[in-house]
């Protein structure tokens, strides 16, 4: 599973970003559960999921700041 680049994330709609955030958080939960029960075989997926979540949250916060910013006049 290759990580999407940040430009790919920026091309998503706001609703898609929210959906992806929820899915990635769920994936991290399941990975932690697999690790706790010693069924985790691909430990590198932690880093991939955390990086993907960071990209998604960064783009979401950028958009929120851009929508609340008032133009200087």
**What distance in Å separates the CA atoms of residue 40 and residue 55, rounded to the nearest whole number?**
24
Question: Which percentage of the chain shows pLDDT scores above 90?
Answer: 66
Give the model's pLDDT for residue 70. Answer: 65
> Is the model more confident about 4 or about 59?
59
| Long-range pairs of 3-9 with CB within 8 A, sequence gap ≥ 24 | 3/48, 3/51, 3/52, 3/55, 4/52, 4/55, 6/55, 6/58, 6/59, 9/55, 9/56, 9/59
Stretch 59-72: mean pLDDT: 85
Tokens 């992806």 correspond to what residue?
A: 20
Give the model's pLDDT for residue 1. Answer: 56
Give the model's pLDDT for residue 15. Answer: 94
Per DSSP, 25 falls in state: H
Neighbours of 66 (CB within 10 A): 8
Query: What domains can you pick out in the chain, each with its CATH number?
Result: 6-66 (1.10.287)
Asked if residue 16 has pLDDT above 80, the reply is: yes
State if pTM tops 0.95. Answer: no
């Amino acid at each position: 599973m290759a990580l999407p680049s940040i430009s790919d994330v920026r091309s998503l709609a706001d609703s898609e970003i929210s959906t992806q955030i929820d899915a990635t958080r769920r994936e991290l939960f399941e990975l932690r559960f697999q690790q706790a029960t010693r069924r985790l075989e691909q430990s590198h997926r932690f880093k991939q999921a955390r990086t993907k979540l960071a990209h998604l949250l960064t783009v979401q916060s950028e958009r929120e700041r851009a929508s609340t910013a008032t133009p200087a006049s």
